[in-house]
Chains A and B, each alone.
Chain A
Amino acid sequence: MANALDVERLSVRFRRNVVLRNLSFSVAEGSALAVIGPNGAGKTVLFRALIDALPHDGTVRWAPGTRIGYVPQKLDIERDLPITGRDFLDAKAAVSQTPRADVGRVLDLVNLPASVAGQPIGALSGGQFQRLLLGVALMGRPTVLLFDEPTAGVDEPGQERLYEMIHRLQETEGLTLLLISHELSVVYRYAANVLCLSRESPCLGPPEEILTPERIEQLYGTPLKYHHH
């Protein structure tokens, strides 16, 4: 199968602080890669380098015709903006030259009622806002979804639903998925490969190889509990 993404010798540094060093990996089309690692390991930095939002060394090569849907971790916006979910979706539709009619399709996909989308974005709950962001990412029919901790600030049943939704979308739309997550059970269940980032040595492989108790303890510094399904 062709690769959706090839990364070779990617390095990112902020002044003298090297955050990512010589990172190389590939992601096959239609597969899911989970990125794990302790805080400060450079997970979000990696994503931002992949979308060319940060200066970096090395090469990042997306397959020709790649369209990226990006779901950022948290947004630094005011709660009282008079921008509705609908305004936000319409904006993405216009910029990605998608017919407005697609807004309805996307709202269905992410299970967000039109009445909720009509509210100002600051009035949405954490879970509703995450689903809106997912909807915005899906406008324009992306081929790749980048997901930075999709469930931060969402309660546990909400998390479960969100991951189910992402997984379903990945299968039905044939998306390639790159996912940053702290939920190791989720990673175990959904990811074909796991990339673990740490200051010492990054590792890459299928979850059953990477998510061993020894590796996890080495990576996070403490034994971590997670459950297989």
Chain B
Amino acid sequence: MQAAALALSVGMAVAAGLVGCFAVMRRMSLASDAMSHVALPGIGIALVFHFHPVIGGFAALVVGTLLVWDLERRTQISTETVIGVVFSLALAVGSMLATGDELVDALLGAPGTLGSWELALGLVGAAAVSVFVLTQRNRLVLALVSADIARTSGIRVARLELAYLIAFAVTVALGLRYLGVLLMGSLIIIPAATAKYLARSLDGMFAIAAVVAVTSTVAGELVAASVHRATGPVIIAIAAALFFASLALRRQPAAR
């Protein structure tokens, strides 16, 4: 069971690192952080009606994602703005539904023992997200550089966008338990930001983002257990430390 839990942490971290690469390159850093908060009202509803919080969180994320995607297409308002509004609403509704300790757990994550179906579902989700990013990387790159080039290459840009946002939502859902809604966005963004800073090619970026995310997660779990602190904040503190270390690394003249 221990090994399976470790596998899930690693899988979640790899998925977060990979999905994050495109979030950072698409300048969605702040938006991604905000988007993870959309899970909160779903968790609140799950707590009220006594079903699994991650299911509620995931459902809310999917609804939020569809709302953001649709509003953006229909109104031509920027993703950042739409997510900003949807997120504030989600946080407000979520805070009304969940209170006290429940709210703190939902916000910051509360690792407990995982059931076998939770582990299995988590592993499947992590694998699906990683496979999506790696197999769709070429489409995602073309759409990132120019939607018009992507379109004339036969890519259905709006559909790809939706698929990416769903992959993002799945990734956030994977981390809700460990990191909570406030911090999961950070595990997606910080390793990818580190990778963007250090890498000189796409393969390099994927590799660095995955390694930084896995290192932060595994080290964070170990450290948190030994100092008796919540896991999420420790994971993010380590990821942020690695980010700052990368700033120092890049200062070397060899970097360019």
Contacts and interface: CB of A to CB of B under 8 A. Distances in A.
Contacts of B144: 77, 83
Interface string A80-107: 1111101110111011100000000000
Interface string B170-210: 00000000000000000000000001110111111100000
Contacts of A136: 149
Residue of A51, A69, A91, A96 with most partner-chain B CB within 10 A: A91
A146 B146 CA distance: 14
B142 interface: yes
Interface residues of B, number: 30
Contacts of A94: 138
Given A84-B202, A88-B145, A90-B138, A51 B151 contact: yes
Interface in A116-148: 120-121, 123, 136-137, 140, 146
Contacts of A137: 149
A72 B153 CA distance: 13
B149 A80 contact: no
A51 B148 contact: yes
Contacts of B218: none
A109 to B, nearest CB: 17
A70 interface: yes
A78 interface: yes
B139 A95 contact: yes
B25 A92 contact: no
A82 B200 contact: yes
A86 B202 CA distance: 10
B2 interface: no
Contact of A82 (B27, B150, B154, B196): B196
B18 to A, nearest CB: 14
A78 B152 contact: no
B163 to A, nearest CB: 15
A149 B256 CA distance: 31
Contacts of A88: 141-142, 145
Nearest to A68: B152
A34 B104 CA distance: 63
Interface in B8-24: none
Contacts of A140: 153
A91 B151 contact: no
A75 interface: yes
B154 A95 contact: yes
Contact of B200 (A69, A91, A120, A146): A120
Contacts of A146: 152
A167 interface: no
B137 interface: yes
Contacts of B154: 95-96
A82 B152 contact: no
A52 interface: yes
A78 B153 contact: no
Nearest 7 CB-CB pairings of A with B:
A91-B138, A82-B199, A70-B152, A94-B138, A91-B141, A68-B152, A87-B202
Interface of A: 48, 51-53, 68-70, 72, 75, 77-78, 80-84, 86-88, 90-92, 94-96, 120-121, 123, 136-137, 140, 146
Given A82-B196, A82-B201, A92-B149, 4 more contacts: A82-B195, A88-B141, A137-B149, A140-B153
